[in-house]
Amino acid sequence: MTAKIAYDDVEVGTELPAQTFPVTRETLVRYAGASGDFNPIHWNEKFAKEVGLPDVIAHGMFTMAEAVRVVTDWTGDPGAVVEYGVRFTKPVVVPNDDKGALIEVSGKVAAKLDDNTVRVDLTATSGGQKVLGMSRAVVRLA
């Protein structure tokens, strides 16, 4: 089994299936434990507000982890990512209610490169704000 998308079948502008990722306080506590990032801005509302944030915010690395799923779910082979980079432009604010926040991610092929790789440009928003900038992944296709 390799990547399920063939290089010859994509062109510049090919859109990847968009996905929406929910984030609640529970998600953040779970991510804190799994990643070892226990910065209180990601779970302690009082602390977050004291340092000038509107509320608890998601780990930037959590958002980065979710965004690339649009790429790896598309290719099928999660080990086929060759490069991946993002800029953290705005925080994902996660209120303490039963809904939390949503991270909406879309992507499209921006360039066809050598060695069966393509560059995918990703767009990630939450609450109508762009939360990642310069979000790009290079991935190897079949």
Partner 1 sequence: MALDQSFVGRTYPPTAPYEVGREKIREFADAVGEANPAFTDPEAAKAFGYSDVIAPPTFVFSITFRAAGQVIEDPQLGLDYSRVVHGDQKFAYSRPVRAGDRLTVTSTIEAIKSLAGNDILDIRGEVHDEAGEHVVTAWTKLVARAAEEA
Positions that interact with partner 1 (CB under 8 A): 1-2, 21, 27, 30-31, 33-37, 60-62, 64-66, 68-69, 72-73, 77-79, 81-88, 134
Cβ atoms 55, 45 nearer than 8 A: yes
Cβ atoms 7, 142 nearer than 8 A: yes
- CB 89 to partner 1: min, Å: 9
Residue 74: which of 23, 134, 10, 8 has the closest Cα?
Answer: 10
- CB 10 to partner 1: min, Å: 20
**87 vs 99, which CB is nearer to partner 1?**
87
- CB 33 to partner 1: min, Å: 7
**13 vs 63, which CB is nearer to partner 1?**
63
**Kind and range of the H or E run holding 19:** strand 15-23
**13 vs 79, which CB is nearer to partner 1?**
79
Residue 17: which of 63, 69, 84, 64 has the closest Cα?
Answer: 69
